[in-house]
Structure 1
């Protein structure tokens, strides 16, 4: 019996231990899980708040930067005396600018001595020396771009809230120091915004410079703050200078916080958001107190919390997936809209061209048609095909898929040669001014596409001028492309060709669309909307850029940048119009074309001119013909885009096996040609005329091979 009792007591003891150990183990496990979960949730909240604060700060500084650029353009090349003379008008302009920007307190324009020429506060500007301010003296030694200064207090007689300056050098023709443009930005603007979004207990936000100067923070403090870059916070940020999450104790108020920071991509500014660790711990204690209060149902509560966390995570993932699908649907819709506009434009123009061709063909079928009218309809078909080829070329130019034929030429000389054609296109009512460069400007580009681009810009300028006006075409040098990364710049610089008009200008809401294909502000029937698209595509594919500056009522300036090259070139000779076809004189040509109708046209036409031809449908059959007897052919004429082996691959194989057999390529479009060129082979663009084909074959000449016709 005692043994049974001892066993019963021992069992009760173990049950007591178990009744204590199991809840304690579950409580410890729940505490650990809760600790990790709450800290991860807090980190996600900090990252979301940081994203909001980062986007807000970025937009604020970008808006201020654009305002500085606008002011710089207003006073570009304007002397101090002229600024003072226009002080009242400039004051009103600056005051209007400040009224539209709640984050800006005032805007100032200073001369080279630090004296205010005009500001947005009062007229006239006070005779006060501001040269000791950091936003001024930083720019004296050199151009540092946009400078963001320290937090300052107004200098008497001015009063009001503290501010920090955002400034730039005033533009000058010779890059000399002529003064500073400065905006006074209100830290309280950031603080009030952070107060609105920082509703969580222990929330913290700050924006400051990379040197540790705090410009604004929430909760706000009544004194200037500058963090030591060599201190604990500075060392943690230095380990990961772009962005990160750290736990630090603030030297300002002694509060430990979980802090997220991120640097603005284009500015020496950091934005931070965080939560006091005491607030995070309070959340954890609040959660665990519920376990302590309910005790026995601790396990059930743990499962409920885990279930809640799972459901919350699934909900977040579900919302993220819905947002992703919505974004994909929006992008798809935008792509369809753009494709629809492009397809509609192509269909409209090609239908017009096909209408001319169809009508001409129908009229040619009429019996007893006079010879003069027959020739006129044939000429209409030929002209329409040329226009269709030009339309295709413009589309390929915009898509940067045209096959360029670069050559080294002097832009100034080519422009002088082109001036007579431009004068004819523009008309006598518009004065044309050509400003050539002081020295030769050589580029390595497609001269034909260059001339087309200049003509397109000139015609666009002509259409913008109502009545009489002036068109100025100037050639100059540029050290770099506008808005391009330094590493992508050309070491020789760039040649800039600007086309300026005194026309009506371009509304700001249309500036971003002017290079879109088929976008035009002209009336129906007065433009295809492809001229500027060709300029855009040619510039991009040539490694350059095209930019536009315009103001409504004051005209526009289009500037085409092309990479400058060392060396010399020759004056481009404009190709002559099609001449008569060249007789083949028995020259034998192997025609390789997968389109039976195109191939039959080529062979029939060449046969009419006295060429001996052999037509095959692909590269494999062509190689078989050459293997059977390559000496029977004087040239190979092959399409580029074919199933299986391409025309370029066929030409390279012929060059390897039959080096003395010339090859002529033909293609309407090939991405290989647009990216790598024709690999040294002759290239004839589709659609081609029989005259063009015969001249190319005549130029390469028949093979000088001895044909074995004698029987041994």
Structure 2
């Protein structure tokens, strides 16, 4: 009998042997013998199935071994991260519902006349739910992008209106931080998906405003050998050199200080890459950083 014969087959074989012993000790009627024969047939079928399964497993294992690359190893970290993001994107609807319920309950609780300690707890609960919701939406947006569930259609995009609108969206936030936020007018055009580029630029400006303390944030463009650099300058404390290498990875050590865990930078980086561009950063500790989003340049129609 094969070593790998399933335990169920062994049990059936023992049952058949017991049936034969019973038949020898006590004469059986025709239906009793029929039962014994059925048991024998079942045992024979299970035995054949077990042997066939072992042979199929061996063939499949040999095929996997033959087709696998010689240097194949565990999945790369980026591949593993993308796989997790695909799972999150698929579960997004089910995850969003309880989060929305928590936010609704917290907001409803704060409409009641509560004692001061309970009122403070209610406000803290609502603030925590809002922060969690912000982080959740960033995670979901990144998950959809990683799972290729975002639509991209590159076409010529004028940067003049795009930069103006992006800066206008953050003027109030910059004012609250005591910052001067401005952009340099431009007539340059790039090949990009306009909504996705607007999203990436929004994340970069939001990050610049969040890290800057005094001074200001400047947004501008430069033409470089058939490409355009869309740059966002901040006057923050800079990014430690030890953290630059992992800056555009989800949940990097640099992101711990931000409500969105710096996932906005990861989003901007991946959007740029999906459009055939690149996002880079230069930072000087104590002076600030500049993020440069490079995209193909499109000549003006009059040229």
Shorter-chain TM-score tier: 0.5 to 0.7
Structure 1 residues 389, 501: CA separation in 2 closer, same or farther (over 3 Å shift)? closer
Structure 2 contact 88–140 (Cα < 8 Å) conserved: no
Structure 1 residues 544, 458: CA separation in 2 closer, same or farther (over 3 Å shift)? same
Taking the aligned partners of 1:503 and 1:436, their CA distance within structure 2 comes to 23
Deviation at 1:555, TM superposition (A): 1.0
| Higher-RCO chain (CA-CA 8 Å, sequence separation at least 6) | 2
Normalising by structure 2, report the TM-score. Answer: 0.56
Partner of residue 474, structure 1: 220
Structure 1 contact 400–541 (Cα < 8 Å) conserved: no
Structure 1 contact 449–538 (Cα < 8 Å) conserved: yes
Structure 2 contact 190–295 (Cα < 8 Å) conserved: yes
Structure 1 contact 395–530 (Cα < 8 Å) conserved: no
Decide which of 396, 409, 412 is 2:160's aligned counterpart: 412
Partner of residue 191, structure 2: 444
Any residues of structure 2 matched to 1:309-708 within 5 Å, and which?
A: 328-329=72-73, 331-332=74-75, 334=77, 338=81, 353-359=96-102, 391-398=139-146, 402-428=150-176, 429-437=178-186, 440-465=187-212, 467-479=213-225, 493-519=226-252, 521-523=254-256, 526-568=259-301
Larger strand fraction of residues: 1
Structure 1 contact 520–527 (Cα < 8 Å) conserved: no
1:633-677, Cα deviation, whole Å (9 max, x unpaired) = xxxxxxxxxxxxxxxxxxxxxxxxxxxxxxxxxxxxxxxxxxxxx
Deviation at 1:565, TM superposition (A): 1.5
Instruction: For residue 402 of structure 1, give the secondary structure of its aligned residue in structure 2.
Output: coil
Structure 1 residues 509, 402: CA separation in 2 closer, same or farther (over 3 Å shift)? same
Structure 1 residues 564, 403: CA separation in 2 closer, same or farther (over 3 Å shift)? same
Structure 1 residues 403, 509: CA separation in 2 closer, same or farther (over 3 Å shift)? same
Any residues of structure 2 matched to 1:169-180 within 5 Å, and which?
A: none
Taking the aligned partners of 1:397 and 1:456, their CA distance within structure 2 comes to 15
Deviation at 1:546, TM superposition (A): 1.1
Structure 2 contact 278–295 (Cα < 8 Å) conserved: yes
Instruction: For residue 462 of structure 1, give the secondary structure of its aligned residue in structure 2.
Output: helix
Q: Which runs of 5+ in 2 are unaligned?
A: 1-68, 107-131
1:509-562, Cα deviation, whole Å (9 max, x unpaired) = 211211112335344771143211221122112121111111222211100111
Normalising by structure 1, report the TM-score. Answer: 0.26
Instruction: For residue 298 of structure 2, give the secondary structure of its aligned residue in structure 1.
Output: coil
Structure 1 contact 412–475 (Cα < 8 Å) conserved: no
Provide the aligned C-alpha RMSD in A: 4.0
Taking the aligned partners of 2:79 and 2:189, their CA distance within structure 1 comes to 41
Deviation at 1:407, TM superposition (A): 3.8
Taking the aligned partners of 1:348 and 1:523, their CA distance within structure 2 comes to 24
Taking the aligned partners of 1:408 and 1:523, their CA distance within structure 2 comes to 37
Deviation at 1:469, TM superposition (A): 2.5
Structure 1 residues 456, 333: CA separation in 2 closer, same or farther (over 3 Å shift)? closer
Any residues of structure 2 matched to 1:221-240 within 5 Å, and which?
A: none
Deviation at 1:346, TM superposition (A): 7.5
Taking the aligned partners of 1:450 and 1:462, their CA distance within structure 2 comes to 18
Structure 1 residues 335, 391: CA separation in 2 closer, same or farther (over 3 Å shift)? closer
Q: How many residue pairs get matched?
A: 208
Structure 1 contact 400–537 (Cα < 8 Å) conserved: no
Taking the aligned partners of 2:269 and 2:78, their CA distance within structure 1 comes to 20
Structure 1 contact 442–568 (Cα < 8 Å) conserved: no
Deviation at 1:471, TM superposition (A): 0.8
1:271-300, Cα deviation, whole Å (9 max, x unpaired) = xxxxxxxxxxxxxxxxxxxxxxxxxxxxxx
Taking the aligned partners of 2:90 and 2:272, their CA distance within structure 1 comes to 26
Instruction: For residue 521 of structure 1, give the secondary structure of its aligned residue in structure 2.
Output: helix
Structure 1 contact 400–538 (Cα < 8 Å) conserved: no
Deviation at 1:566, TM superposition (A): 3.0
Instruction: For residue 239 of structure 2, give the secondary structure of its aligned residue in structure 1.
Output: coil
Deviation at 1:498, TM superposition (A): 0.5
Taking the aligned partners of 2:167 and 2:250, their CA distance within structure 1 comes to 27
Instruction: For residue 495 of structure 1, give the secondary structure of its aligned residue in structure 2.
Output: strand
Instruction: For residue 408 of structure 1, give the secondary structure of its aligned residue in structure 2.
Output: strand
